[in-house]
Amino acid sequence: MKCEACEYKDANVIEPCDNRIEPYRVCNFCHRRLLARALRPLEWYNLAKRHGWHQYLLHDDFYGENGEADQPDEDVEHPEQYPAPALESISHDPELLLDFSITRWNYSIELETAWNMLPKSAVLAAIQSRFETSRNMGVRDRILEICASNLKDHGAEFVRAAWEFYPHDLALPCLAEATASCLPFREGYDRVVSELARLEGNARRNVIFVMGYFRSIETLDWIETNICEPTTDSWGYLAAVSGIDWIRLQTWLDAGRPLSLVAIDALGAFQRRQTHMLKKFRSHLVSLPSKEELKSVLDAYARRDNVPRVLQRIDSVLEKYELLSWK
């Protein structure tokens, strides 16, 4: 077989340092450059499209998103003669666009637009074929992101089949995103809830955000049933993206801890909008009260729970009241 980096010399080195299941297969010259973090842009691109940019020897500490070496241990040989492809040169071909997408740090608006220009049948064929031939979890995650943004219900059967690879060869977040986008609500929501029920402690708490992909008020009921200590702000972010309104928020404040802390964190989440979901879905507080009413309710709660965390967050919410509505 040919070298995965230069794609013209014979591959005579198997390098498993980043992934023993799917090692790099490269020629001697590219192997030296790989270990020296001195790949030329096209060589980096050719490896990243197969293995994902997140591998240690390829990741963003050592290379820019277009394959420029940032910390080489030796001089990069004529990098200008080996440029990585640009989006506009490959966007017409689903296979080439998939290669490009796998090398990107993020699934950008530009990528989403490029995929939406292609026939859905061609998109499905490309991602299905690549998913079946790659065991790389990062590659499969990007494929599911494409499915979620482009295929919608056209990708339903593909997503159902993808669940067979969870949890050993697939992570929950991108699978849940594709499930929320491509499957009927009841089927998809219940499937993700069922999988979360199998997790405990930090393992569950670290992925509860995936419920936000459904943007359903049913998730507020789920929070009430499943909330547990420690009450991190991830619960508040989930409530915010799931459509909590002022009436429900007051109910949680009246209920006391831990739901009252989630309510306060949800208000802060609307204002900071630090997560991709809150920005993408333009989440905002439904039935926004006047600043006077909000202050009255929060001040009353602060008198019952006057610890520094609560007081500081309430002060911040009131100070930035105008950010509770989307502008």
Q: How many Å apart are CA 151 and CA 17, to the nearest integer?
A: 35
Residue 66 lies in a domain: yes
Among residues 151, 180, 214, the one where a domain terminates is 214
Residue 79 lies in a domain: no
Could you tell me if 33 and 90 lie in one domain?
A: no
Domain region containing 175: 85-214
Residue 320 lies in a domain: yes
Contact between 94 and 122 under an 8 Å Cβ cutoff? The reply is yes
Q: How many Å apart are CA 75 and CA 100, to the nearest integer?
A: 26
The 10 Å Cβ neighbour count of residue 17 is: 12
Q: How many Å apart are CA 253 and CA 260, to the nearest integer?
A: 4
Could you tell me if 263 and 198 lie in one domain?
A: no
Residue 255 lies in a domain: yes
Measured in degrees and rounded to the nearest 5, phi and psi for residue 129 equal: -65, -45
Could you tell me if 24 and 124 lie in one domain?
A: no
Could you tell me if 235 and 207 lie in one domain?
A: no
Could you tell me if 171 and 269 lie in one domain?
A: no
Q: How many Å apart are CA 157 and CA 166, to the nearest integer?
A: 15
Query: Which pLDDT score is estimated for 125?
Result: 98
Could you tell me if 232 and 204 lie in one domain?
A: no
Could you tell me if 131 and 244 lie in one domain?
A: no
Could you tell me if 51 and 151 lie in one domain?
A: no
Could you tell me if 114 and 181 lie in one domain?
A: yes
Could you tell me if 60 and 122 lie in one domain?
A: no
Residue 80 lies in a domain: no
Could you tell me if 99 and 181 lie in one domain?
A: yes
The CB-side HSE value for 39 (13 A sphere, CA atoms) comes to 30
Q: How many domains does the chain have?
A: 3
Residue 219 lies in a domain: no
The pair of structure tokens assigned to 240 is 């915010």
Could you tell me if 54 and 98 lie in one domain?
A: no
Among residues 179, 214, 249, the one where a domain terminates is 214
pTM for this one?
Answer: 0.94
Query: Which pLDDT score is estimated for 327?
Result: 61
Residue 222 lies in a domain: no
Residue 311 lies in a domain: yes
CA distances from 54 to 19, 299, 310 (A): 11, 46, 38
Measured in degrees and rounded to the nearest 5, phi and psi for residue 305 equal: -140, 70
Q: How many Å apart are CA 243 and CA 216, to the nearest integer?
A: 7
Task: Divide the 327 residues of the chain into consecutive groups of 10 and give the mean pLDDT of each group.
Answer: 98 97 97 99 99 97 97 98 98 99 97 98 98 95 98 98 95 98 99 97 95 98 95 96 98 98 97 90 93 98 97 97 84
